[in-house]
Amino acid sequence: MTITEVSKKYDISQDTLRYYERIGLIPHVNRTSSGIRDYTDESCRWIELAKCMRSAGVPIDALIEYCALTQKGDSTITARKELLQEERKKIIGKIEEMHQTLDRLNYKIDRYEKAEESGILSWNNEDMDLL
C-alpha cells in the first residue's frame, strides 16, 4: 500500500506516518524501485498498534522502546511484557480518574434535572465533594 492509501485507511496524516517511521515507531518500510513507500500487512499492524496505543495516551517513547525490543527478538519477551504492564497500570489509573469525573458529572446533571422539575437547585450536604 502507498502512503496515501495507508493515510486514508487509518486516518493518519502522511507526515505522521513519515515521523513514526523516522523515529522507529514503525519498523523499516519497504520502498519500490522508484522510492515510493510500500506498506506491508506487517507495517499496517504496527500502525494500528501505534494508533491504538497513542489514543490511550501511551507515550511515544514507550512505543519506540517496545518496537526496538520487538526487533531484538525473543530475548526481550520479559522486557516487552513489563513495559506493557507498566503502561496498563497507567491506563487503569486514567480510567479510574475518568470514572470519578463521570460520577461527578452524572451527579451534577441529576441535580440540575431535579432543579428543572422543582424550580429549586439544591445540593446534598453529604455529596459536597462532588460539587
pLDDT of residue 124: 76
For 53-101, what is each residue's pLDDT tens digit? 999 999 999 999 999 999 999 999 999 999 999 999 999 999 999 999 9
Q: Which residues have CB under 8 Å from 94's CB, separation 6+?
A: 57
pLDDT of residue 128: 62
Q: Identify whether residues 63 and 96 lie together within a single domain.
A: no
- Assigned C-alpha cell, 16: 505522521
Residue 47: CATH number of its domain: 1.10.1660.10
Q: Identify whether residues 17 and 63 lie together within a single domain.
A: yes
Percent of the chain with pLDDT over 90: 89
Q: Does residue 103 carry a pLDDT above 90?
A: yes
Q: Identify whether residues 12 and 40 lie together within a single domain.
A: yes
| Dihedrals phi, psi of 57, to nearest 5 degrees | 95, 10
Q: How many domains does the chain have?
A: 2
Confidence of residue 116 (pLDDT cuts 50, 70, 90): very high
Q: Does residue 130 carry a pLDDT above 70?
A: no
Mean pLDDT, the chain, as a whole number? 93
Mean of the pLDDT values across residues 1-10? 96
Q: Does residue 131 carry a pLDDT above 70?
A: no
Confidence of residue 36 (pLDDT cuts 50, 70, 90): very high
- Establish if 79 belongs to a structural domain: no
Q: Does residue 47 carry a pLDDT above 80?
A: yes
Q: For residue 100, what are the domain limits? A: 87-131
Distance from C-alpha of 46 to C-alpha of 69, rounded to nearest angstrom: 13
Distance from C-alpha of 50 to C-alpha of 62, rounded to nearest angstrom: 11
- Establish if 67 belongs to a structural domain: yes
Q: Does residue 127 carry a pLDDT above 70?
A: no
Sign of CA dihedral 58, 60, 66, 70: positive
Q: Does residue 14 carry a pLDDT above 80?
A: yes
